[in-house]
Amino acid sequence: MPEHHSEASPLIALADCSACRFWALRAKEQCVPGDICVAAHSGRQIDRFLKRHSQYASDYLADEFWERRAIAARYAPLEEMRRMPFDEDEVVRRVVSSRLPVDELELYLHDPDREVRMTVANRIAPEQLTALLNDADYLVRLQVARRLPHGQLRHMVGDEDREVRKEVARRLPAFALSLLARDADAEVRRIVAARTLPEDAAKMLDDPDWLVRLEAVQRAPLEAIAERVEDAEPDVRAVVHQRLNDFLLGDEK
């Protein structure tokens, strides 16, 4: 089981210096009890120590305290960190997955921790993201949608989460947005209507959501928007009349 993540109180986060291997550093003020100390049960103190003395980080990659291992992984040489076994603690694995070369992250593609997988999704080569298309967590899939090559985005138009589909709608090429024109969520359709091709915007002029129609009448061809001159929503009618008037005045072609 992962260790309990808690920061010891600053009032008790003092280590016993009497048997510390770094006693000599204290004499040189390179470690300070309660402030810069690798032996304390305090992430802040451990980080301050290993940031100054990163040559010792490798010694703590197998430490019993999860936070000491995580901080050590941040500063240890890459070759030493590579030899670490798959850590039971998710915070340690997050650090490892943020440092390993992108071509060495396969082990972490299906990590049980969401944030580890999000880190992987943010770093791996775009062509490898298909392995995470059906991830159980929408935040991981959202990261995938932000980086997936345009040619593969169509695989995500049916995602169950609207935030993912909204991101897909923001990134799909205009000619492919018709795939989301009838999405169940109005916010997705609004994004589509604002970006789609004029002829596809015309097909959205009868959308039940007036904000979708408002976007559509701004992009659809003039001959198509004429049917919305009596739209139930004043803002939609106003845009239609404005575009038609601009055309009559020669301001719109």
Distance CA 238, CA 241 (A): 5
CB atoms closer than 10 angstroms to residue 150: 11
Look at residues 172, 201, 224 and tell me which one is the last residue of a structural domain.
Answer: 172
Task: Tell whether 20 and 45 lie within a shared domain.
Answer: yes
What are 118-167's pLDDT values in tens digits?
999 999 999 899 999 999 999 999 999 999 999 999 999 999 999 999 99
Look at residues 46, 71, 100 and tell me which one is the last residue of a structural domain.
Answer: 100
What are 170-215's pLDDT values in tens digits?
999 999 999 999 999 999 999 999 999 999 999 999 999 999 999 9
Task: Tell whether 58 and 124 lie within a shared domain.
Answer: no
- Of 120 and 37, the structure prediction assigns the larger pLDDT to 120
What are 75-127's pLDDT values in tens digits?
999 999 998 889 999 999 999 999 999 999 999 999 999 999 999 999 999 98
- Per the structure block, which two tokens stand in for 143? 């990261």
Task: Tell whether 118 and 212 lie within a shared domain.
Answer: no
Q: What is the pLDDT of residue 11?
A: 43
Query: Which residues have CB under 8 Å from 249's CB, separation 6+?
Result: none
Task: Tell whether 108 and 120 lie within a shared domain.
Answer: yes
CATH of the domain at 24: 1.25.10.10
Residue 29 in any domain: the answer is yes
CB 211 within 8 A of CB 190: yes
Q: What is the pLDDT of residue 40?
A: 87
Q: What is the pLDDT of residue 9?
A: 42
The CA radius of gyration of the chain, in Å to the nearest whole number, is 28
Residue bearing tokens 């694995």: 93
The three-class DSSP label of residue 97 is helix
Look at residues 100, 116, 149 and tell me which one is the last residue of a structural domain.
Answer: 100
Give how many domains the chain has, as a whole number: 3
CB atoms closer than 10 angstroms to residue 130: 13
Distance CA 170, CA 110 (A): 27
List C-alpha distances in Å: 36 to 24, 32, 47, 66, 112: 14, 5, 8, 18, 33
Q: How many residues does the chain have?
A: 253
What are 234-251's pLDDT values in tens digits?
999 999 999 999 888 876
Task: Tell whether 94 and 21 lie within a shared domain.
Answer: yes
What is the residue range of 202's domain? 185-253
- What rounded mean pLDDT belongs to the chain? 90
Residue 179 in any domain: the answer is no
- Asked if pLDDT for residue 1 goes beyond 50, the answer is no
Task: Tell whether 11 and 96 lie within a shared domain.
Answer: yes
Task: Tell whether 11 and 31 lie within a shared domain.
Answer: yes
CB 154 within 8 A of CB 129: no
Q: What is the pLDDT of residue 249?
A: 81
Distance CA 133, CA 110 (A): 11
Task: Tell whether 94 and 189 lie within a shared domain.
Answer: no
